[in-house]
Structure 1
């Protein structure tokens, strides 16, 4: 059985981890990129996974040599996101794991690269779920306290500091789906469970404390938490 350093608090990423938005984001990017006669390669998808919206736009425009600025690209993408992201479902295992952690008395929060406006749009169908189980949300895309996006550690450090008892980073466990997010958690001094997208390379999974295929596979005892009641 796995056995890692015990933790007391948990921070969840959102896109691709709590919400099934990765496919929607990828389809939108592919559509906008296609307007300029280009394809959206996996190499770029891997590079930008988990990063801020403007960083994503800058990388895509630069690497594909698109005839527009990052700001213009971001604007085109946002227009499509406004209607499509509202349809996002919760990821497999979320409705099982999160309530069990909450019932066990473990403080939970969300740290996302999105803006708060984007977060609220994506979670509009699940507002009661997020309001009930998570003490707070830090949205790096609009929070002035977050100076740099992932893979910088800022969003996780700010999120940890906003728990009512401000735990030490080493007492926080992060759930992420992206290697960039895992790097950010490591830099914040936190352990991280990676639940990667299917196109993430095996070598990029090694930066996580642990990599699992689904949230359904998580066992609280691995990190010194009480076993779930059946």
Structure 2
């Protein structure tokens, strides 16, 4: 059958999968919202989704400044105090987090595909969950060690290189984990 669109498709094998932890592998985003609601309730305020939108993608301290200023509590609570309080509360919530729906099945499938590479196809099909804070990662995974044991590497951003989001060149950094054959 002819290709009516005239688009040529070049399919390359998938050799790496990079996951973000929060909101993709683990259902932790709700904890951030819950904690922020608790903090604001002390000031008879509620968490506004417009404020959340302004916080997204920023470094923690920058997002904290937006939070206290936009919520109108900056006279009572500094951004630094907010981060300390939030951290304390998150430490108790993270160990209770659940996998997002379908994550267990997906990771097991990807692991099986990696384990069943055909001869001559020694691509390193690796899974890389990404988590900014190693300590947060350790708090989140105890109930999910079976699934996380199937992942090849875990990439944490080191504190001196802290990014608010994954670095743009994360793929390049991950290439060092891969065998020479799949560095194309």
TM-score (norm 1): 0.61
Contact 2:57 2:164 in 1 (8 A): no
Partner of 1:124: 142
Computed over aligned residues only, the root mean square deviation of the Cα atoms, in angstroms, reads 2.7
Q: How many residues align?
A: 162
Kindly report which structure 2 residues correspond to 1:47-196, keeping only aligned pairs within 5 A, or say none: 47-49=54-56, 51-66=58-73, 67=75, 68-105=77-114, 106-113=125-132, 115-130=133-148, 132-140=149-157, 143-144=158-159, 146-150=161-165, 152-153=167-168, 156-157=170-171, 160-165=174-179
Report Cα offsets for 1:35-74 as digits up to 9, x if no partner. Answer: 2232211122233346543343232123223232211100
Check conservation: 1:146, 1:158, Cα contact below 8 A.
Answer: no
CA deviations 1:72-121 (Å, max 9, x no partner) are 100011111111111101000101111111111121011123x1101110
Question: Could you say what secondary structure the match of 1:133 adopts?
Answer: coil
Structure 1: runs of 5+ lacking an equivalent: 172-230
TM-score by length of 2: 0.74
| 1:11 aligned counterpart, secondary structure | strand
The 3 A distance-change label for structure 1 pair 138 and 50 is farther
The answer as to whether partners of 2:126 and 2:153 remain within 8 angstroms in 1 is: no
Checking the alignment, whether the CA contact within 8 Å between 1:98 and 1:133 is kept in structure 2 is: yes
Indicate the structure (1 or 2) with the bigger Cα radius of gyration.
2
* Correspondence 1:20 to 2:20: no
In the aligned structure 2, how far is the partner of 1:123 from the partner of 1:61? 30
Whole-angstrom CA distance in 1 between matches of 2:30 and 2:10: 32
